[in-house]
A and B are shown apart, each in its own frame.
Chain A
């Protein structure tokens, strides 16, 4: 294999359990986002646009959709003769087999893959953030600073800092001196974005040492970074100041989707110099009928609107029939809203059909069997993919409806359809 300057590794194996039913059958990076995209399109497109042509995608939890989606890497221009996109699942070895135990362990198990390309640097990314970033500029700083590791950081509001991994720097703001995971009393508001560049020779030694340490949890933030700090290695902070959103919770996923409508200048998908690529559905242009009303919404190929869409994100092949009203919602690919149904503040999974006259959303009802206090908030309703919601069913706010066989007899879900 020819030598590469930098190889990117995307950690895409996490379950994303806080997204509830949306990640029951798919890994979080494969969750549809923003009308045309899936979450993993962002790191993949960033790599492609930054000139990185070798990307390992580490998968573990429910990999089918993700593997199918990434495929040969063609949509991101990552089908290369030397390099390209590689799906890297855990595998069986001579001394037994092992799942990826944590982030650092996942990279440890793929040392051979990285060694193949003899890179100078390794870029570690996670598959659950929405942002546009030029990793080449980050690498430039890493080289200029002669750092052992460079960590991308973002200034977050002080009151939100306790939710993040916080990097404390010296006066220059460039050198990291301390890492604190979710500190109650943060000393800085520089949050780690989970984007790391390591000098490969350094990281390789660290990974081998970390694997030998029985007390380690094999995590980049909790183990590798503190260990490097304790050895007085040079850790540089790369300041990023653009749109960045972690879409780990129902609320943040909804927020990020709405940002496409409300913060277009920040997120800007129309920048032809930094396109976000995705696997395209083969669908005709969307159609809006004479009876339809569309306000402050976005949609893509294959949608057909006869009803009303307001402040809503429609993915490909969604249908809103006559008299139906969809407001403040996110419809994933193939969702159908039948005549007269009302959908208010919902995230609806792929290919789900909302029956005629249904009422989805509104004031929460804690007595409702689908009421989910743990994952849902702010009156957001979440529906699993592939459901057929019975005509005239009522699902109030903060409900999460799961696709379970025993629900088919209930008064809400009629039947389940084939998802693919």
Chain B
């Protein structure tokens, strides 16, 4: 696959708003699953397929993402000639407004490779798969594009894209946030096409002054081009709002979702942090929780996801919550249905109780 398919990850999506959590980071850099960021899943799926040339396109708030990706070594993408290429916007260009992906930059980068195909992937869907069969199916079908979809649209909130698909798997309708969806087929945010077609489409958009090129832009060409659907059978977690972020994290705690996402045939790679092992003391109680390295657990943790370096002090209870990196929960606190961003401190005796349908979000570095 290394010389056949090239990858493109769209690491930003202005349509997705995760409130305070996305205040300082784009969707790709959003922490997920205890030790990952959302882009890790898109990147690992590419790498596990054997693809070696991957561009990551971004336009706003990319500091946190660049920090995470580094040289790409964690994904084995620090290659001599191929590897990871970060494609930030070229603000100096007149053609670029800074409000969307820099098409000139993308066009420049993708024009010069010889790989016949390109897979474009967004970051807001978490799933674990390799693309061999997807690629084969696309090539054999003779279609112009093939898009990955599954059938759990009714379960997921917006923003979301639904399709009509005919008996030949051809897309015959595309609906963005429809009030009453006609089908349950919904995009998993991954599509494949000829690299040359992609470069032509970009050049066409640029010449017509179209700034806003997104994943949806390509799907909406279903009348002009033959776009087919490829059904993904596994679990895909859609992160498109704070509520879905919370729900999908809770869902990933238990099997079979946990096994499918984290213990698939191939691993999910991420940036390494050398934390100490997590320590559980004599009085702790832990129930149905995923906990990362570097934590100290002295209180009670139930149905929760703890990122690296979290401390839960004695006589504290953490229930149905998500605590980001280095959260410090002091003694005698009670947290229920809460998402706490990085480096926050919960002072002794604090009670924070949200509703499962409306979790409380504590911002980055806040002292409560």
Contact = CB atoms under 8 A, between A and B. Distances in A.
Interface in B19-37: 33-35
A295 B298 CA distance: 10
Contact of A260 (B272, B277, B281, B294): B277
Secondary structure of the B contact surface, majority rule: loop
A269 B278 CA distance: 10
B131 interface: no
B277 A284 contact: no
Contacts of A289: 287-288
Contact of B288 (A75, A260, A288): A288
Contact of B267 (A35, A283, A285, A295): A283
Given A261-B279, A295-B282, A285 B269 contact: no
Contacts of A283: 267
A269 B35 contact: no
A297 B295 CA distance: 12
Interface of B: 33-35, 73, 253, 258, 262-263, 267-270, 272, 274, 276-282, 284, 286-294, 296, 305-307
20 contacts: A35-B277, A264-B279, A282-B267, A282-B270, A284-B34, A284-B263, A284-B290, A285-B33, A285-B35, A285-B292, A285-B293, A286-B292, A288-B286, A290-B288, A292-B286, A294-B280, A296-B280, A298-B279, A299-B277, A301-B292
A298 B277 contact: yes
B278 A286 contact: yes
Interface residues of A, number: 34
Interface string A242-286: 000000000000000000110010000110000111101011111
B258 A287 contact: yes
A74 interface: yes
A191 to B, nearest CB: 27
Contact of B287 (A260, A270, A275, A288): A288
Interface in A302-322: 313
Contact of B277 (A34, A282, A285, A294): A34
A36 B279 CA distance: 12
Given A269-B276, A282-B269, A298-B278, A287 B290 contact: yes
A74 B35 CA distance: 20
Interface SS, A side: loop
A306 to B, nearest CB: 11
B274 A294 contact: no
A295 B284 contact: yes
B63 to A, nearest CB: 21
B293 A300 contact: yes
Contacts of B305: 285
Given A270-B296, A287-B290, 13 more contacts: A36-B293, A276-B276, A280-B274, A282-B268, A282-B270, A284-B263, A285-B34, A285-B293, A287-B258, A292-B286, A296-B281, A297-B279, A300-B293
Nearest to A279: B272
Interface centre among B33, B270, B287 (most CB of A within 10 A): B287
Nearest to B279: A298
Contacts of B294: 270
B277 A269 contact: yes
B47 to A, nearest CB: 11
Nearest to A270: B276
Contacts of A294: 280, 284, 286
* From B270, B282, B286, residue with most partner A Cβ within 10 Å: B286
B274 to A, nearest CB: 5
A288 B267 contact: no
Nearest to A288: B286
A300 B290 contact: no
Contacts of B269: 282
Name the residue in B267, B268, B278, B288 with the highest tally of chain A Cβ atoms < 10 Å from its Cβ. B278
B270 to A, nearest CB: 8
Contacts of B262: 284
Contacts of A75: 272, 274
Contacts of B272: 75, 280
A286 B306 CA distance: 10
Contacts of B290: 284-287
Nearest to B302: A290
Contacts of B307: 285
B254 to A, nearest CB: 9
Contacts of B291: 285-288
